[in-house]
């Protein structure tokens, strides 16, 4: 009778002892297992742990979000890719040319590629894919927008696909490099949405074998693969036999599973686990910031109080961002002073605009008429408190970022700003934005190339889509900026394009429309047995074509 009684007590004691030693044990080192050779070994199954949401449809044409892109890169190829220098390189298309008026593009295609269902890859397949993306019934969002200027595609021959545009598009190649516009088998598309969502068919190095909802997607090797992008490290089929793609939403469990060897690689690594992993010799870290915009706080210039540039500047001068980033991200995130990601070669930074200066902030607010302070120390004008509504999406802002926003809230208070943070789920957050009920917001935007600036800062972006969504959340409306962005999106010369984008970025930064924080964070942790894994320089999704497992 007494023996079972002691067990809980003993268990509790063990728990207390173990928990107190936890920090040490978690970071404890194990001897490294260095592989003797660096020659790739074929075979084995890679287990991937994704912390992103499980896609609702594996076809990235439908909707078009990042979780879909992560998976699609394993079984779909695109027409073109991008190398680590930011240059567009051949993939399924070997070369391309554009007419002088910029309205006609000819893509020459690889002539020996087949989809994994046996359908040949040719110019007709490209035409079917573009039509699929542009068909409202496909319910495409990302791909549909990216093809906005494409009127039609004609198959000139089996290996030449001609794109006809209604306006010049300097971002066309960048758009086509994105996984949301990857090429699928026409026969696969013809099966209809329900079937195509379960297992889209591509030309990629792996094939979707099975999708067990809420658990995993099984991918097996495409034994006939012959269409890697130009910057791949080898030819022919992939080294790995299979990939088990698991969905593990909790960051701590994901990391524990990596430590226990249950998984080989994980995404969405959080700052604390990155710091822990960097102290080990058995784990490696891939830092792959997403392209497009940086992570930044937008100041809504469309309504009071931020319709006054002085108040915008005062806010930016008042808040202290660097200390927060340093302490909360353990050095895993580098401060940005640009609207664009560091992955974009034309990104322009100006650190001098973002130095913290509380006195300057106070002076600016005094001049702007916010002279009085209420009992709580917040500034008041005409009986109105200087309140800033800051809706935060718990789906898009990681815990470290949410804490950073709290620190920003605290430092802004010193200048008399009353920042009201509200944590919301994704639907509610979009709802608040659609109702224009915000002063500050942080909304990531992933896209290949600087054309993201046109989406985010052209005044057209203030007009809401039928769902209420609009991309220009800082509500910048500046004819000069609009003109620069439109011209940049049509110009063919790279140097002129870069110059126009630099001028545009200056206007955004000097108008104090945004507070850049850091690149859109995208970290992978992997066991050192995983060799040759890298992120594609398009939207920074991992690719496992060149990957092999040592000691498998």
Partner 1 sequence: MTPGLQTTNRVDRSRSHRVLRWLLVRLGGAAFVLWAVATLTFFAIRLIPGDPAEAVLGGPGSQASQETLDQVRRDYGLDLPLGVQYLNALGRLLTGDLGTSYALKVPVADLLSAQLGGTLILAFSALLVAWASALALSLWSTGGGRIAGSVGQAIELTAAALPHFWLATVLIAIFSSALGWLPPVSTGGVLGLILPTVTLAIPLAGFLAQVMRETMLDTLDAPFIVSARARGESEGGIRLRHALRHASLPAISLSGWALGYLISGAVVVETIFARPGLGRTLLQAVTLRDVPIVTGVVLLVALVYIVMTILTDAASRLADPRLRTAEGER
Tell me whether residue 24 or residue 495 sits nearer to partner 1 (CB atom). 24
We find the least distance from the C-beta atom of residue 149 to partner 1, in angstroms, to be: 16
Interacting stretch for partner 1, rule CB under 8 A, among 102-110, 233-241, 317-325, 460-468? 460-468
Residue 146 in the binding site for partner 1 (CB under 8 A): no
Residue 63 sits in the site that holds partner 1 (CB under 8 A):
yes
Least distance from partner 1 to the Cβ atom of residue 213, Å: 7
Return the range that interacts with partner 1 (CB under 8 A); candidates 50-58, 332-340, 384-392, 414-422.
Answer: 50-58
Residue among 41 and 256 whose Cβ is closer to partner 1: 256
Least distance to partner 1, CB of residue 392, Å = 15
DSSP for 218-229, written as a single string: EEEE-TT-----
Q: Report the SS3 class of residue 463.
A: coil
Site track for partner 1 across 13-42, x = CB under 8 A: -xx--xx-xx--xx----------------
Nearest to 388 by CA among 421, 349, 435: 421
Nearer to partner 1, 259 or 336 (CB): 259
CB nearer to partner 1: give 167 or 426.
426
CB of 249: closest distance to partner 1 in angstroms?
5
What's the CA gap between 134 and 241, in Å, rounded? 35
Q: Which stretch binds partner 1 (CB under 8 A): 92-100, 208-216, 367-375, 513-521?
A: 208-216
Confirm or reject binding of residue 423 to partner 1 (CB under 8 A). Answer: no
Output the six-digit token pair for 427: 């639907």
The beta strands (E) that lie in 15-63 are given as 45-50
Q: Which of 248, 265, 311, 504 is the binder for partner 1 (CB under 8 A)?
A: 248
Q: Which residue has the tokens 């979009």?
A: 430
Of 88 and 266, which CB lies nearer to partner 1 in the complex structure? Answer: 266
52 binds partner 1 (CB under 8 A): no
Residue whose CB is less far from partner 1, 247 or 337: 247
Query: φ and ψ at 240, to 5 degrees?
Result: -70, 140
Burial 456-494 (b: 16+ CB within 10 A, else e): bbbeebbeeeeeeebbbbbbbbbeebbebbeebbbbeee
| Shortest separation between residue 59's beta carbon and partner 1, angstroms | 11
Which residue, 369 or 431, is less far from partner 1 as judged by CB?
431
Closest CA to 219 of 242, 196, 246: 242
- Contact range with partner 1 by CB under 8 A, out of 32-40, 47-55, 160-168, 472-480: 47-55
Is 452 an interacting residue with respect to partner 1 (CB under 8 A)?
no
142-165: b (≥16 Cβ within 10 Å) or e: bbbbbbebbeebebeeebbbbbeb
Q: How far apart are CA 165 and CA 181, in angstroms?
A: 16
Q: Is 437 in the site for partner 1 (CB under 8 A)?
A: no
Task: Return the structure tokens found at 60.
Answer: 């990235």
Q: How far is the CB of 178 from partner 1 (least distance, A)?
A: 15
> Is residue 273 part of the contact set for partner 1 (CB under 8 A)?
no
Residue 538 to residues 5, 15, 97, 175, 278: CA-CA distances in angstroms? 59, 46, 21, 9, 26
Residues 6+ away with beta carbon under 8 Å from 399: 270
Name which position in 29, 36, 137, 375 contacts partner 1 (CB under 8 A). Answer: 137
- Nearest 5 degrees, angle CA 522-CA 30-CA 52? 20
224 binding partner 1? (CB under 8 A): no
Phi, psi (degrees; rounded to nearest 5) at 291: -80, 180
Residue 282, interface with partner 1 (CB under 8 A)?
no
In the DSSP assignment, the letter for residue 1 is -
Cis peptide before 64 (omega within 30 of 0): no
- Residues 268, 400: Cα–Cα separation, whole Å: 12
Nearer to partner 1, 39 or 427 (CB): 427
- Give the full edge-to-edge strand order of the sheet including 514-518: 440-442, 295-299, 514-518
- Select 35 or 396, whichever has its Cβ closest to partner 1: 396
The whole-angstrom separation of Cα 186 and Cα 360 is 61
Closest residue by Cα to residue 295 from 445, 458, 447, 513? 445
Under the binding rule (CB under 8 A), the answer on residue 275 touching partner 1 is: no
In whole angstroms, what is the distance from residue 197 CA to residue 180 CA?
13
State which residue, 12 or 410, has the beta carbon closest to partner 1.
12
Among 35, 164, 262, 403, binds partner 1 (CB under 8 A): 262
Closest distance to partner 1 from the beta carbon of 259 (Å):
6
8 binds partner 1 (CB under 8 A): yes
Q: For partner 1, which residue of 425, 493, 496, 510 counts as binding (CB under 8 A)?
A: 425
If one asks whether residue 280 binds partner 1 (CB under 8 A), the answer comes out as no
- What CA–CA distance (Å, rounded) separates 405 from 551? 44
Site membership for partner 1, residue 479 (CB under 8 A): no
Contact track, partner 1, 379-408, x by CB under 8 A: ----------------x-------------
Task: Decide: is 409 part of the binding site for partner 1 (CB under 8 A).
Answer: no
If DSSP states are collapsed to H, E and C, what string results for 289-319? CCCCECEEEEECCCCCCCCCHHHHHHHHHHC
Q: Where do contacts with partner 1 occur on this chain (CB under 8 A)?
A: 1-2, 4-5, 8-9, 12, 14-15, 18-19, 21-22, 25-26, 49, 53-54, 56-57, 62-65, 136-137, 139, 141-142, 144-145, 193-194, 197, 212-215, 246-250, 252-254, 256-257, 259-260, 262-263, 395, 425-432, 465-467, 469
């Amino acid at each position: 009778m007494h023996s079972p009684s002691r067990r809980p007590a003993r268990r509790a004691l063990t728990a207390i002892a173990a928990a107190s030693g936890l920090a040490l044990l978690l970071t404890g080192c194990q001897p490294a297992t260095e592989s003797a050779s660096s020659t790739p070994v074929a075979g084995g199954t890679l287990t991937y742990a994704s912390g992103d949401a499980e896609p609702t449809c594996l076809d990235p044409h439908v909707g078009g979000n990042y979780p879909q892109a992560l998976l699609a890169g394993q079984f779909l190829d695109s027409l073109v890719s991008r190398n680590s220098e930011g240059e567009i390189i051949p993939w399924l298309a070997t070369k391309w040319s554009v007419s002088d008026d910029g309205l006609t593009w000819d893509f020459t295609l690889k002539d020996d590629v087949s989809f994994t269902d046996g359908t040949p890859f040719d110019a007709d397949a490209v035409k079917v894919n573009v039509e699929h993306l542009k068909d409202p019934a496909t319910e495409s969002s990302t791909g549909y927008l990216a093809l906005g200027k494409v009127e039609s595609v004609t198959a000139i021959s089996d290996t030449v696909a001609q794109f006809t545009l209604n306006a010049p598009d300097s971002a066309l190649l960048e758009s086509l490099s994105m996984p949301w516009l990857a090429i699928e088998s026409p026969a696969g598309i013809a099966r209809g949405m329900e079937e195509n969502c379960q297992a889209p068919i591509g030309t990629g190095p792996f094939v979707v074998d099975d999708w067990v909802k809420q658990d995993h997607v099984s991918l097996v090797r495409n034994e006939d693969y012959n269409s890697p992008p130009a910057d791949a490290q080898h030819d022919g089929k992939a080294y790995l036999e299979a990939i088990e793609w698991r969905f593990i939403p909790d960051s701590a469990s994901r990391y524990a599973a990596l430590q226990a060897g249950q998984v080989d690689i994980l995404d969405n690594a959080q700052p604390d686990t990155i710091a822990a992993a960097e102290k080990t010799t058995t784990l490696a870290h891939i830092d792959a910031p997403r392209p497009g915009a940086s992570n930044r706080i937008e100041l809504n210039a469309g309504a009071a109080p931020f319709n006054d540039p002085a108040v915008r500047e005062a806010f930016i001068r008042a808040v202290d961002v660097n200390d927060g980033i340093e302490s909360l991200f353990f050095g895993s995130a580098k401060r940005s002073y640009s609207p664009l990601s560091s992955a974009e070669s034309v990104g322009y930074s100006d650190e001098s605009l973002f130095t913290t200066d509380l006195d300057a902030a106070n002076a600016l607010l005094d001049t702007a008429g916010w002279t009085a302070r209420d009992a709580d120390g917040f500034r008041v004008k005409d009986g109105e408190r200087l309140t800033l509504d800051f809706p935060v999406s718990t789906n898009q802002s990681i815990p470290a970022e949410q804490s950073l926003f709290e620190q920003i809230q605290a430092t802004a208070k010193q200048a008399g700003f009353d920042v009201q943070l509200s944590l919301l789920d994704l639907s509610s957050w979009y709802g608040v934005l659609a109702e224009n009920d915000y002063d500050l917001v942080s909304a990531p935007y992933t896209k290949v190339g600087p054309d993201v600036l046109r989406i985010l800062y052209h005044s057209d972006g203030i007009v809401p889509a039928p769902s209420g969504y609009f991309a220009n959340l800082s509500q910048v409306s500046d004819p000069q900026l609009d003109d620069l962005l439109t011209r940049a999106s049509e110009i063919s010369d790279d140097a002129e394009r870069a110059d126009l984008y630099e001028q545009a970025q200056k206007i955004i930064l000097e108008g104090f429309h945004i507070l850049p924080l850091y690149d859109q964070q995208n970290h992978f942790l992997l066991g050192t047995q995983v060799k040759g894994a890298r992120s594609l320089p398009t939207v920074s999704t991992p690719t496992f074509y060149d990957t092999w497992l040592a000691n498998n």
